Structure 1
Amino acid sequence: MHYDIIIIGAGSMGMAAGYYLAKSGKNTLLLDAFDPPHTEGSHHGETRIIRYAYGEGEKYVPLLLQSKKLWAELEKEWGQTLFTKTGVLTLGPKDSTFVQNVISSAKTYDLPLTVMTAKEVNEKWKGISIDEHLTGCFEPTSGVLHSERCIEAYRKLAEEEGATLLPYRKVINLIVSEERVTVETDNETFTSKSLIVSGGAYSNELLSMLHLDLPLQPIRKTFAWFNSDEEIYNEREFPAFGFETEEGMYYGFPSINRAGLKVGRHDTGHPVDPNNPLKEFSTYKEDEQDLTSFLKQFIVQEPSLKYGKTCMYTMTPDEDFIVDSHPNYPNVAIAAGFSGHGFKFSSAIGKALSELVTKGETEQDLSLFSLERFEKKKLV
């Protein structure tokens, strides 16, 4: 069958792009190796933090503010809660680059942010205990996106707009010219004028079919929920958080709907082949040990594990994303390498991808995510 646009990979970015394309009247096909939302990529685990004063650099803030606007529009159209405003607390040494980026982002874009001493943090949240060398940055308008609900909303609304989603389709071959795209699965062939590749951890395999060799590394990540005192750690009293410690970067969520305090470590991880099953939580001793060590140091209650899960990050060397058109085929857009901090942007990136393949350009500045920054991008 022939479509206007085919999207390979209907996770965070692909599903959002499918919605915006279908809404604009394009005959859109989404193909996924699984059945989204699912547990085989990066979007599961119930929740994702969204913050606007950005420790990764203020260059991201305009995209964040666009994402915020689009999430609110999606929530209104969907009619169910997709965002919970818990506030976000960032903690780290005052002179750290991450903390300074949070502060400078807030100043540049006039974002609400309260910079707090360790004493003020400990007094405001009795579930936290930090030393005086740490500084807190509290952003009251930030909070938590319900990730699987967001994917479900984009999927259902895209299908209502006429998009076709085919799950459990593994792409085995791509043939591309400037005028036509041919996508082959195990027993089907589809054609279109344009293509979006947003394959997550499977991007290397897909992009090699387009003669691209990009420095993308999937890694195994873990996160877990811990039993918590609901009077202290509930989503009305306790914020989502990010801690920069001497050991590494940690993040967490309040106990939302009594699920328990959720914690993960952002840095470290084991390189993986996404075609092999991920090793389960607790396979490595550090899976639980890293998280309980962090909780013992900074969270007042004694950690008691409920359960843990695994997922995959797909890393770029600089931890910035790849969102660009193919260097040889302007009718092909690529979204990859979201490096563990991409979900919050998927509304705005999905819309930008839809514009790239229909207009050849987007109003959103994507220069930070260009393929040009990699010297080696074509296969020999």
Structure 2
Amino acid sequence: MGKNDYDAIVVGAGSMGMAAGYYLSRQGAKTLLIDAFDPPHTQGSHHGETRIIRHAYGEGREYVPLALRAQTLWDELQQETDETIFEKTGVLGFGPEGSAFIDEAIASSKEYSLSLDLLDASEIHERWPGIQLPEGYKGCFEPDSGVLYSENCIRAYRRLAEKNGVSIVPNTPVKNIDADTDSVSIKTDDETYTAKKLIISAGAWNKDVLGHLNIDVPLQPTRQTTTWFDSDPSLYDANGFPAFFVDVPSGVYYGFPSLDSSGLKIGRFDTGEKAEPAYINREYGIYPEDEGHVRTFLETYMPQAAGNVKQGRACIFTRTPDEHFVVDLHPKHSNIAIAAGFSGHGFKFASVIGEILSQLALDGQTEHDISIFSLSRPALQQSENALG
């Protein structure tokens, strides 16, 4: 095997790709990771320091087994690194009676016997005085969930993968991909690399990369922002306040307690203007209208958290029409695994998706149920070239 020949190549070494590289290395595969940037970085969907991990899942109970396996793998990663990977803050969800999202989270907890406290508006305020809800609202608190330090997670996987012999080529866009039944060839400006197996996990750039293989997956990138507000530490500090996700009449929001005096962090899930990743100004931060969305939410439900803005950041979500992920083999080349459409609720699964991708690449199958993520599902067929 030559110096540019590998058992497996991963194109896109962000959240899923970096985890996949690590799990490939654990199976002894000679592995190369190629990324257009130098992960962890600020150009994709993993920056901004923190992500929520929930086990009781409002997006569908099919995700629960994967969330539990992901948590196990994050806990294992914590044992392998000095980086802080996970903090068990608990996660609170709330919304008005009839919220389908909250109802599904509760139903999923019952089906899988998860720890979940059911609370009414007054009980929520009694436990967390910084939250004020109208009558008729309800909530669910999951004590075993919490916060992942996303950039630390990627950094830890990278260090461990490199320790295991994985090669990483950063700041190197892929220019072309050629594939047949038993090999792939990856061309960059400077080199050509070959491998038996390929994983594509290029985030917001997936449409361009998958285009080399004549696959058109309906993926929509949108500009998203998160904002940190100066807030009362006695009410919103991480030693007593949880991460949260909420489904209220004005929208779907998520947020984090103040970690190390950073301020309460909040974002809105169900907004975002369509945008190409190369044209999002991540250095500028947020616009007044970005702040307005979340400030109004805080003034309504967490008024003592609506202080001065400490910082704001822009990133990108890339989602499928049904907001479920894509994790599947190429329909014509079974030696190519594809991972796409994770933004919004995907990072928590990066550990288990990395494990799954390594299994798909090396074995052509996985023990995890990923049928909901099929490339051939009806929701993806709106694009006439979806299967190449």
Compute the TM-score of the two structures, normalised by the length of structure 1: 0.98
Q: How does 1:312-351 map to 2 (within 5 A)?
A: 312-351=316-355
Counterpart secondary structure, 1:327: coil
Are residue 198 (structure 1) and residue 201 (structure 2) matched?
yes
Q: How does 1:359-370 map to 2 (within 5 A)?
A: 359-370=363-374
Taking structure 1 as reference, are residues 281 and 98 closer, same or farther at Cα in structure 2, changes over 3 Å only? Answer: farther
Counterpart secondary structure, 1:171: coil
Taking the aligned partners of 2:34 and 2:68, their CA distance within structure 1 comes to 29
Q: How does 1:115-194 map to 2 (within 5 A)?
A: 115-194=118-197
1:273-314 deviation line (CA, Å, top 9, x unaligned) = 122243655664321111111110111314311110000000
Counterpart secondary structure, 2:175: strand
Whether contact under 8 Å (1:222, 1:281) holds in the other structure is no
Counterpart secondary structure, 2:376: helix
Whether contact under 8 Å (1:371, 1:377) holds in the other structure is no
1:165-191 deviation line (CA, Å, top 9, x unaligned) = 110010010000011100011121111
Taking structure 1 as reference, are residues 224 and 283 closer, same or farther at Cα in structure 2, changes over 3 Å only? Answer: closer
Are residue 372 (structure 1) and residue 382 (structure 2) matched?
no
Q: How far has the Cα of 1:113 moved from its partner?
A: 0.4
User: Which residue matches 2:246?
Assistant: 243
Q: How far has the Cα of 1:142 moved from its partner?
A: 0.5
Query: For 1:226, which of 219, 226, 229 is the aligned residue?
Result: 229
User: Which residue matches 1:36?
Assistant: 39
Q: How far has the Cα of 1:95 moved from its partner?
A: 1.3
Taking the aligned partners of 1:250 and 1:323, their CA distance within structure 2 comes to 26
1:229-258 deviation line (CA, Å, top 9, x unaligned) = 112211111000011111110110000111
Taking the aligned partners of 1:378 and 1:292, their CA distance within structure 2 comes to 40
Runs of 4+ in 1 over 2 A off after TM superposition: 275-285, 374-380
Counterpart secondary structure, 2:58: coil
Taking the aligned partners of 1:98 and 1:175, their CA distance within structure 2 comes to 42
Are residue 100 (structure 1) and residue 103 (structure 2) matched?
yes
Q: How far has the Cα of 1:24 moved from its partner?
A: 1.1
Q: Tell me which amino acid in the other structure corresponds to 2:361.
A: V
Query: For 2:210, which of 207, 211, 216 is the aligned residue?
Result: 207
Q: How far has the Cα of 1:76 moved from its partner?
A: 0.6
User: Which residue matches 2:314?
Assistant: 310
Q: How far has the Cα of 1:33 moved from its partner?
A: 0.5
Task: Tell me which moved more, 297-306 or 105-114.
Answer: 297-306
Task: Tell me which moved more, 169-178 or 284-293.
Answer: 284-293
What runs of 5+ residues in structure 1 fail to find an aligned partner?
none
User: Which residue matches 2:290?
Assistant: 287
Whether contact under 8 Å (2:285, 2:314) holds in the other structure is no
Taking the aligned partners of 1:237 and 1:268, their CA distance within structure 2 comes to 29
Taking the aligned partners of 1:118 and 1:267, their CA distance within structure 2 comes to 24
Q: Tell me which amino acid in the other structure corresponds to 2:315.
A: C
Q: How many residues align?
A: 380
Compute the TM-score of the two structures, normalised by the length of structure 2: 0.96
Q: Tell me which amino acid in the other structure corresponds to 1:69.
A: T
Are residue 90 (structure 1) and residue 93 (structure 2) matched?
yes
Counterpart secondary structure, 2:260: helix
Taking the aligned partners of 1:226 and 1:62, their CA distance within structure 2 comes to 34
Are residue 54 (structure 1) and residue 57 (structure 2) matched?
yes
Q: Could you tell me the percent identity over the aligned residues?
A: 52
